[in-house]
């Protein structure tokens, strides 16, 4: 009986030895750091001196630009590009703080979706806390209240426990309420100012009325073809034919005004007026047509849908295999030594 007890203790020792290695081999990096926040720290430090180091700023931003574009949209990346190109240190710093707020919202969004995944939601909440800690020095008041909200959100995630011991159920509603409170407190403190492209097209639109002014001249050609004179001749013939019937002098005098009245109704200067109106209306319609221009970045980048969170696998397979192999060899050696000594 003692032999089986010893064998069980050895097996438990091996499991306790191997389990931590497997956990550390497959991780998502340090939960207490955020890449975008670390880039901001480097940029802010490079701009804080008497002579800003724009070369370091460009290199630091270049390594993070694709991630910013993926998560927050191309408009945000273009805005930061233009801030760096124009060497606007204050505006770049302010907009990068706003990007950190967007990152905070992104972490909260996916943590709320995966709130029942304790490990994943806890990792995202830790990333959000690292982002807030970067912004905290620029917040004058209310940081204690926000830190308390982070603690409440972590507590709302519950705890799966160990083999059911110490298990605590997750509270999704409380978690969403707490992270929403944090975002509402932080967002107004760091406004975002989008880059607006200058519009030289306005000058071209002002020159457009010069060209349409030449178009009214060919519009007079339809006037010669549209002559009401053919319409007059049948009317005169009909009037001449009417006296064949016997009529009194008073009756014969009455039809005479009718031909003069009918041409007045039929021969207005409407063709010329309509032609001139159409000619005058055409330039205005052409002016109303907007010239094509490139899309400008949106002033509210948060309206764009967040890109899915990228969980980079930082596992070094070679190191993992060597470590696990070393543990197995060491465990086998210990087992062989125990068996040789007669403990098994």
Which carries the bigger pLDDT value, residue 330 or residue 77? 77
Which helix (H) or strand (E) segment holds residue 127: the answer is: helix 118-135
Residue-wise pLDDT for 1-53, tens only, equals: 466 566 666 666 655 554 443 333 333 446 678 999 999 999 999 999 889 99
* Contact indicator for 170, 153 with CB cutoff of 8 Å: no
pLDDT at 65: 96
CA nearest neighbour of 195 among 65, 78, 116: 78
Q: Is 162 helix (H, G, I), strand (E, B) or coil?
A: strand
246 band by pLDDT with thresholds 50, 70 and 90: very low
Residue whose entry in the numeric block shows the structure tokens 């124009």: 86
Query: What's the pLDDT tens digit per position in 122-136?
Result: 999 999 999 999 999
Query: Is the confidence at residue 121, as pLDDT, over 70?
Result: yes
- Residue 139's φ and ψ, nearest 5 degrees, are -105, 120
Q: Range with the lowest mean pLDDT among 96-100, 123-127, 180-184, 274-278? A: 274-278
Average pLDDT over residues 200-207: 58
Burial annotation 65-89 (CB, 10 A radius, 16+ → b, else e): bebbbebbbebbbbbbbbbbeeeeb
Give the integer Cα–Cα distance in Å for 80 and 96: 8
pTM for the full predicted model:
0.56
Is the model more confident about 67 or about 205? 67
Report how far residue 48's alpha carbon sits from residue 143's, in angstroms, rounded to the nearest whole number.
24
Query: pLDDT class for 219, splitting at 50, 70, 90?
Result: low
Looking at residue 203, its pLDDT comes to: 57
Please determine, for residue 223, whether its predicted confidence score (pLDDT) is greater than 60: no
Q: How high is the pLDDT of residue 328?
A: 85
In which band, very low, low, confident or very high, does the pLDDT at 314 lie, cut at 50, 70 and 90? low
**Average pLDDT in the chain:** 73
Would you say 124 and 28 are in contact if contact means Cβ atoms under 8 Å apart? Answer: no
Residues 6+ apart with CB under 8 A from 54: 46, 84, 87
Q: How far apart are CA 60 and CA 87, in angstroms?
A: 15
Predicted confidence band at 266 (pLDDT cuts at 50, 70, 90)? very low
Count of positions (residues) in the chain? 344
Q: How confident is the model at residue 334 (pLDDT cuts 50, 70, 90)?
A: confident
């Amino acid at each position: 009986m003692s032999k089986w007890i010893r064998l069980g203790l050895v097996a438990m020792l091996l499991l306790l030895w191997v389990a931590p290695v497997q956990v550390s081999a497959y991780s998502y990096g340090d939960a207490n750091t955020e890449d975008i926040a670390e880039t901001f720290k480097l940029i802010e430090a490079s701009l804080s001196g008497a002579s800003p180091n724009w070369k370091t700023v460009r290199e630091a931003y270049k390594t993070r630009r694709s991630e910013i574009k993926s998560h927050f949209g191309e408009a945000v990346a273009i805005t930061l590009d233009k801030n760096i190109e124009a060497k606007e240190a204050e505006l770049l710093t302010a907009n990068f703080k706003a990007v950190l707020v967007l990152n905070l919202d992104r972490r909260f969004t996916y943590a709320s979706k995966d709130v029942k995944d304790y490990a994943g939601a806890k990792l995202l909440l830790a990333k959000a806390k690292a982002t807030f800690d970067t912004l905290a020095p620029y917040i004058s008041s209310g940081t204690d209240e926000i830190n308390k909200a982070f603690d409440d959100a972590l507590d709302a995630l519950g705890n799966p426990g160990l083999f059911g011991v110490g298990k605590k159920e997750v509270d999704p509603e409380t978690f969403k309420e707490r992270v929403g409170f944090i975002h509402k407190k932080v967002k107004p403190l760091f406004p975002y100012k989008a880059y607006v492209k200058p519009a030289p097209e306005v000058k071209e639109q002002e020159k457009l009325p010069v060209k349409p002014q030449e178009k009214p001249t060919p519009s007079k050609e339809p006037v010669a073809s549209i002559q009401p004179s053919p319409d007059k001749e049948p009317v005169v013939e009909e009037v001449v034919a009417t006296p064949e019937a016997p009529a009194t002098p008073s009756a014969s005098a009455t039809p005479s005004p009718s031909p003069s009245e009918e041409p007045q109704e039929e021969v207005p200067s409407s063709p010329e007026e309509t032609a001139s109106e159409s000619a005058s209306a055409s330039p205005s319609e052409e002016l109303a047509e907007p010239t094509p221009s490139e899309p400008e970045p949106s002033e509210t980048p948060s309206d764009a849908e967040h890109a899915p969170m990228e969980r980079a696998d930082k596992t070094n397979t070679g190191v993992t295999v060597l470590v696990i192999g070393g543990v197995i060899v060491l465990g086998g050696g210990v087992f062989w030594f125990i068996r040789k000594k007669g403990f098994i």
